[in-house]
Homo-oligomer: A and B are copies of this chain.
């Protein structure tokens, strides 16, 4: 990955996250990245390839993000870390852009990519089993649905008080 490749990816990430994939022209990406437009196509074949490259990075980041949770043995910690995932991924601007884009793309492409969540889901199921919940699987699913809602609100609703709801949720689960 050369320096210019990185700057293209960075510029694309920012713009796609801000304006959306379709609304961002390759010429804008090139301008912000400080490279010629042609270079985008040499490295990523086409605009879609650029998006795919970003999505792939997303999968890697997701794996990294999940690793910390999946490897946790204390079930309460699993639940707590899962809930706080959203906060963790929104502190740094670049990272916030990144995850926002992942959600935006989901709606623009109408692909959820449930498989990416599977490791996390399993970790949650295990945790709920250990914690003696009656229906650990449903409980885990419920929680991931809530997380999706959390992201939606966090990224779209400027008036949303994430901390309050988050603390409330943590209390609910006793974590």
Residues of A within 8 A of B (CB): 20, 22-23, 103-104, 106-108, 110-112, 114, 135, 138-139, 141-142, 144-150, 152-153, 155-160, 164-165, 168-169, 172
Contact = CB atoms under 8 A, between A and B. Distances in A.
Contacts of A165: 138, 141-142, 145
Given A142-B168, A164-B141, A165-B142, A112 B156 contact: yes
A20 B108 contact: yes
A103 B107 contact: yes
Looking at chain A's contact residues, is the secondary structure mostly helix, strand, loop, or mixed? helix
A156 B106 contact: yes
A72 to B, nearest CB: 23
Contacts of A138: 164-165, 168
Nearest to A169: B142
B111 A108 contact: no
Contacts of A148: 148-149, 152-153
13 contacts: A20-B107, A23-B108, A104-B108, A106-B156, A108-B108, A111-B156, A112-B153, A112-B156, A112-B157, A114-B159, A114-B160, A142-B172, A148-B153
Contacts of A20: 22, 107-108
A79 to B, nearest CB: 15
